Structure 1
């Protein structure tokens, strides 16, 4: 009876060891994938920051164009009034 119990315990221990190895491998794979996600997230944040700066620059340029256009319209009206 004791031998049977010992054999059962040894088999259980073997299965536990196998499961631990599998879990460790899976955990390593998850960590590898997570590292990739973290790296991509950092790249996306940098890209977002760059795009935001460029869009802000375009907005500034557009505001300048609108001001110059308004001044040009005013000058055109003044020139037409001189006729």
Structure 2
């Protein structure tokens, strides 16, 4: 009976050592996952900052395009007036 108990205790000790190894492995894997998650969070923050910069640049470009359209409309109006003046001068001369 004592031998059976001793064998059971030895088997339990062996199982516990095996479980301790498994726990260390799990901890290592968990640390690796934590590092990967931190890297992904950092990358996400970088991408978010880049997106904000792009938004500002797009709004700036949009404003510049509106301004250019306004300027182009002014040039078209002035050009039309110049053609009208040229036609009048040709009619006089």
Distance 1:26 1:80 in 2: 78
State the Cα deviation string for residues 28-80 of structure 1 (Å, max 9, x = none).
Answer: 11111111110011001100100110011001100110111011101110111
Count, aligned residues: 83
| Aligned counterpart, 2:50 | 40
RMSD: 0.8
2:81 paired with 1:81: no
Q: TM-score, normalised by structure 1?
A: 0.95
* Runs ≥4 residues deviating over 2 A: none
Q: Which has the larger radius of gyration?
A: 2
Q: How does 1:45-64 map to 2 (within 5 A)?
A: 45-64=55-74
| Aligned counterpart, 2:36 | 26
